[in-house]
Amino acid sequence: MKKFNVTVNGKAYAVEVEEVGANQGAFTYQPVQQPVQVEKEPAKPVEPAPQAAPVKKVQSDSTEGETISAPMPGTILDVKVSEGQSVKSGDILFILEAMKMENEIVSPKDGVINKIYISKSATVSTGDSLVTIG
């Protein structure tokens, strides 16, 4: 007969298993009266979620603003804004397809779209400028 300690849904059990052979192959289990000390691995630190698109302050054509950059390489599926349009923080600016997933690139602040650097179906790399918001 072999003995095992088994944990099911956080509850520990001592299990005795009889080998199948000349015997009938029956097994028994009994709840452990005393908790069995089971060493648990310490929880691994959780990596922070990806941040919104990087924001850089730039100056172009005497118009100061924040440039929103591509957070990852992919293809622009849709451009949701146009130059001169007012946007609020959290408004969707672009839909970026990366690794077969559609990612929404949102505005980090309220402002006006000064310049759009890319168009629909464009392929972008990480850090490529997408738009400047003033």
Please report, for the domain that includes residue 95, its CATH number.
2.40.50.100
- Per the structure, the count of domains in the chain is 2
- Inside any domain, residue 47: no
Do 64 and 115 lie in one domain? The reply is yes
In the structure encoding, which two tokens stand for residue 74, read together? Answer: 């992919």
Tell which residue, 123, 89, 94, 90, has the closest CA to residue 109: 89
- Inside any domain, residue 45: no
Which residue is listed with tokens 């179906």?
A: 121
Do 67 and 119 lie in one domain? The reply is yes
CA distances (Å), 76 to each of 27, 38, 40, 115, 122, in order?
Answer: 61, 50, 45, 16, 5
Do 63 and 126 lie in one domain? The reply is yes
Do 91 and 27 lie in one domain? The reply is no
Burial class, 25, CB count within 10 angstroms (exposed 0-12 / middle 13-18 / buried 19+):
exposed
Do 59 and 27 lie in one domain? The reply is no
Burial class, 128, CB count within 10 angstroms (exposed 0-12 / middle 13-18 / buried 19+):
middle
What's the whole-number average pLDDT of the chain?
Answer: 79
Q: DSSP code of 92?
A: E
pLDDT digit string (tens) for 21-50? Answer: 655 555 566 666 666 666 666 766 766 666
Residue span of the structural domain in which 70 resides: 55-133
How does pLDDT run along the chain (134 residues), one tens digit per residue?
788 888 888 888 888 877 766 555 555 666 666 666 666 667 667 666 665 555 554 444 445 788 999 999 999 999 999 999 999 999 999 999 988 899 999 999 999 999 999 999 999 999 999 999 98
Do 62 and 115 lie in one domain? The reply is yes
Note the pTM of the prediction, 2 decimals.
Answer: 0.52
